[in-house]
Structure formats: structure tokens, C-alpha cells
Amino acid sequence: MKALDPNARLTFLERFAYGLGDYSCNLVYSAISAFLLVYYTDVLGVAATTAGGVMAVSKIFDGASDLIMGRIVDNTKSKWGKARPWILRMSIPLAVCTVLMFSVPGSLTGAMQIGYIFLSYNLVSTVFYTGLNVPYARALRAFGRRAGTEPGPCGPSPGETSCRGGPQSHRAAGKCKDDCNLDGYGFCQRRMPGV
């Protein structure tokens, strides 16, 4: 595996490739947001309160799984980094389970149908989508390193209330701590040592 130059800029192709991956995650999220409830109620005939209840209860599990997956990714040690193994492991199961979520067997009725809906929805949103999207967002840290900064807590200099920016550089105005740079959105970012 070739070492990355921390001073190198991201190429257009690298940024475009990252965007394509995020586009695919957004396709799944958009399908769930726009079509799933309609599919459950209009196609399967599930009561709207039941379908909505399944989704609402599942969001509690989803919130907990985000925290757990973040911890798992942070503790991952592999030669491919922290995020890449999880992205590779979760992409195919996410695709398969998304199809299964929109393919409820017609032979299932009543509690079996609700159980299938609950299980397939949670596999997609709580397990595999979280398992893919959390490490995918974690991969942004590598982009920050390539640019010479690391996203993270980096506050204003003593005596300043904020390092949130306007058009002037707060670093030049002395509003960011000495070990920080101003990012493109006006927030201070901690500089990586030696960069």
C-alpha cells in the first residue's frame, strides 16, 4: 500500500469518487424517506400507525447503533485503516437488505408481516446503513489530513468568544489558537503536527 503525501492536494477524481459513494448512500436514504411508508401502507395495506410506529421505534435503536458503530470504527485496527474495512463489509449486505425491505412476501400477513417489516427495516437502517455511513463519514478525516488539518475541537484564543469566521481570517486576526487553522467555513481546525 502506497503512503499518502500529507501535503498533497486531493485530485478532482478523488473528490468525485468520494461523492459517488455518498450519492449511493443518499439513494438508499431517499428511497426509505420518500417511498417506504407509501409502499408499506398503499401496496402492503399496513395501517399507517403500525408502519409509522415500526419506523419510530426503530429510530431509537438507530440512534444507539450510531454511537456503537462510531466506537467500533474508532477502535478498528487494520492495514486498510479504520473506515475502509467497514465500508467494504457493509456495502453488499446493505444493497441486498434494501431490496428485501422493498420485497415483503405476499404470503406474510398480520404479525408475521409486521415482524418482517421490523426486521428488514432495522437491518437496513440500524445495522447496515449505519455500518456503512458512519465509517464513510469517518473517512473525511483522511481528507482533512491530506489538506494538512484535522477536523476536531479547536477553539478560539483566550479572551475570544468564538473563532467562527467572517470574510477575514481569524487566524490572522489572532482569534484561533496557535495550533489551529481556519477552515473554509470559518471554523478553527487543529493543524496536524509536522504539517
Same domain assignment for residues 96 and 168: no
The residue range of the domain holding 96 is 12-145
Burial class (CB in 10 A: 0-12, 13-18, 19+), 69: buried
Same domain assignment for residues 133 and 50: yes
Is 82 a domain residue? yes
Is 75 a domain residue? yes
pLDDT confidence of residue 137: 82
pLDDT confidence of residue 143: 63
Please compute the mean of the pLDDT values over residues 107-133 and round it to a whole number: 93
Is 3 a domain residue? no
Integer CA distances (angstroms), 195 to 1, 5, 92, 147, in order: 22, 10, 37, 9
pLDDT confidence of residue 31: 86
pLDDT digits (tens, 9 = 90+) for 134-192: 888 877 766 655 554 444 445 544 444 444 444 344 444 445 555 455 454 444 555 44
Same domain assignment for residues 37 and 120: yes
Lowest mean pLDDT, pick from 39-48, 74-83, 120-129, 186-195 = 186-195
Is 2 a domain residue? no
- Measured at the alpha carbon of residue 190, what is the angle toward residues 174 and 74, in degrees to the nearest 5? 160
Binning pLDDT at 50, 70 and 90, where does residue 61 land? very high
Q: Please determine, for residue 39, whether its predicted confidence score (pLDDT) is greater than 70.
A: yes
The C-alpha cell at 142 is 483522511
Same domain assignment for residues 141 and 164: no
Is 37 a domain residue? yes
When divided into structural domains, the chain yields a total of: 2
Same domain assignment for residues 48 and 24: yes
Is 179 a domain residue? yes
Same domain assignment for residues 171 and 92: no
Same domain assignment for residues 94 and 81: yes
Is 32 a domain residue? yes
Same domain assignment for residues 73 and 162: no
Same domain assignment for residues 133 and 161: no
Same domain assignment for residues 138 and 155: no
Is 4 a domain residue? no
Cα distance between residue 49 and residue 69, in whole Å: 30
Binning pLDDT at 50, 70 and 90, where does residue 27 land? confident
pLDDT confidence of residue 169: 44
What is the residue whose three cell numbers read 474508532?
74
